[in-house]
């Protein structure tokens, strides 16, 4: 509707075309849905291309954030392991010192 193509809404609804299905449509499928105007198909295809690019950009940003979080988790684990080793070493050094006395 935002593209001024509301004449196709009823057919898209009747065919249960949702966002996921919409992204899978190409020119021939649009034509089969009753979109006979090549200009209208071009508008939809252009908008779909923009949407796919936007989705891909968002997916990549999400992957990047997940990698950063994983990197932070690993760094925190390494720091905890180092602290644990230091604590263990200090404890064993103290125990050895007490044993010597």
Across 49-73, b (16+ Cβ under 10 Å) vs e yields eeeeeeeeeeeeeeeeeeeeeeeee
Question: pLDDT tens-digit profile of 30-81?
Answer: 999 989 999 999 999 999 999 999 999 999 999 999 999 999 999 999 998 8
Confidence category of residue 94, pLDDT binned at 50, 70, 90: low
Domains and CATH numbers, the chain: 7-85 (1.10.150)
Has this prediction a pTM greater than 0.85?
no
- In 2-37, where does DSSP find H-type helix? 9-14, 19-23, 27-32
């Amino acid at each position: 509707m935002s593209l001024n193509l509301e004449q196709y809404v009823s057919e898209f609804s009747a065919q249960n075309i949702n966002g996921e299905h919409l992204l899978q449509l190409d020119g021939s499928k649009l034509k089969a849905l009753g979109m006979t105007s090549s200009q209208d198909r071009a508008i939809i295809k252009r908008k779909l291309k923009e949407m796919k690019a936007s989705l891909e950009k968002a997916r990549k940003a999400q992957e990047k954030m997940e990698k950063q979080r994983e990197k932070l988790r690993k760094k925190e684990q390494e720091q905890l392991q180092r602290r644990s080793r230091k604590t263990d070493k200090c404890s064993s050094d103290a125990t050895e010192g007490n044993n010597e006395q």
